[in-house]
Structure 1
Amino acid sequence: MNPTAKPHQAASFWLFIPLIILIVQVVAEHFMGRIWICSCGYIKLFEPGVNTPGNSQHLADWYTPSHIIHGFLFYGLGWLVLRKGSFGQRLTLATLIEAAWELLENSPIIIDRYRDSTMAVGYAGDSILNSAMDTVFMALGFLFASRAPIWLTIAIALVFELLTGYLIRDNLTLNVLMLVWPVDAIKAWQGAL
């Protein structure tokens, strides 16, 4: 028997679990009544509109950088709480958190909160495709953070935040702030776009 077989099998197992979590996320969203793709009937690589019916419905949109930053942050979290854990164990934790957020984000309570407290006036939730891609982009951010120097990961996160803040008046920081503690002045500024 090969002595390296067990560690390799364990690593493969922990890399397989995030895929299972993604499948569970997709199935759960289907049972939540989410639509598979944009109701427009086609799939775009990127939806350039922010307050449009196509936002959060296609493969990528202006909120994709936020999900990549999730991956950066979850890589850091995994490093903190699973110091002796494998890459696969850390990715599993990250995928579990992201999938849980995607399910919560597409629940009526959060959709209504977005409509009331943020610039997402007509937000109806993500398509299943968009939500699954959000999790994939998080995983890509996680992978990048695992390979890149910390300074580069932080620099890219700052560029993403500043760029989307400038272009669409929203980003991960503003999104979280407005969801948790809405500020009328920020909502007015975002609505003036």
Structure 2
Amino acid sequence: MAGILAIVAGTQFAMGRLPICACGEVKLWHGDVWSSGNSQHLTDWYTLSHLAHGFVFYALLRWLRPGWSVAWRAVTALAIEGAWEIAENTPLIIDRYRAVTASLDYYGDSIVNSFGDGVAMLAGFFLAARLPVAASVLVVLALEGVAAWMIRDNLALNILMLLWPIEAVREWQMQGAPPSVGR
């Protein structure tokens, strides 16, 4: 798993991603989704989505690969998460976020933020491995609900807006933006 995280970090560095926030700080938590520090620190509101990734990957891999050990499924989940972290930080996906979502000022993740996302996914994965299915479903619904309430975004909305943007959803999301954010 450490090797996967190192490969993701090395690939992102080769892609020109900043290791840490351009502000020069590494914060444990950054809560302002409308600032340039969003997706630049170890954790932020989108960490909730990566926790949810862990629950989803656990469920999918348990169904697709029931004979594999939890450890091998976790390695596979981290490889999938790492591939997404690399893809998410390509100009194609960054431009897509900026064009069809409320993330007008999104310029990609720092390497430390991608690392935090990978660790959050693993935390969600291992929680899912220990919790009953009903509890896992409730946790994911709670993560999605808190994110929707606090930042008008979550994993489901993120997927929806990337694949099939709905202007009414984007307008609703933008209602949470401060006046300084271009609309």
TM-score class normalised by the smaller sequence: over 0.9
Deviations 1:123-178 (A, max 9, x none): 00000000011011000100100011111111111011111101110010101000
2:6 is aligned to 23
1:113 alignment partner, SS class: helix
CA distance in structure 1 between the aligned counterparts of 2:77 and 2:12, rounded to whole angstroms:
19
TM-score, structure 2 length as denominator?
0.94
Deviations 1:76-114 (A, max 9, x none): 111011111111210111011100000000000000000
1:96 is aligned to 79
Does residue 106 in structure 1 map to residue 89 in structure 2? Answer: yes
Q: Specify the structure having the higher radius of gyration (Cα).
A: 1
CA distance in structure 1 between the aligned counterparts of 2:134 and 2:64, rounded to whole angstroms:
21
1:152 is aligned to 135
Does residue 69 in structure 1 map to residue 58 in structure 2? Answer: no
RMSD over equivalenced CA pairs, Å: 0.7
Letter in 1 for 2:28: L
Match of 2:146 among 156, 163, 186: 163
2:102 alignment partner, SS class: coil
4+ residue runs of structure 1 moved beyond 4 angstroms? none
Match of 2:100 among 117, 121, 128: 117
1:82 is aligned to 65
Does residue 143 in structure 1 map to residue 122 in structure 2? Answer: no
Aligned residues, how many? 176
Deviations 1:58-81 (A, max 9, x none): 011000010000000100111011
Structure 1 spans left out of the alignment, 5+ residues: 1-17
CA deviation after TM superposition for structure 1 residue 46, in Å: 0.8
1:13 is aligned to none
Letter in 1 for 2:6: I
Match of 2:159 among 150, 167, 176: 176
CA distance in structure 2 between the aligned counterparts of 1:167 and 1:140, rounded to whole angstroms:
21
2:18 is aligned to 35
2:169 is aligned to 186
CA distance in structure 1 between the aligned counterparts of 2:124 and 2:158, rounded to whole angstroms:
19
TM-score, structure 1 length as denominator?
0.90
Letter in 1 for 2:69: S
Provide the identity percentage: 45
CA distance in structure 1 between the aligned counterparts of 2:64 and 2:3, rounded to whole angstroms:
22
Does residue 132 in structure 1 map to residue 115 in structure 2? Answer: yes
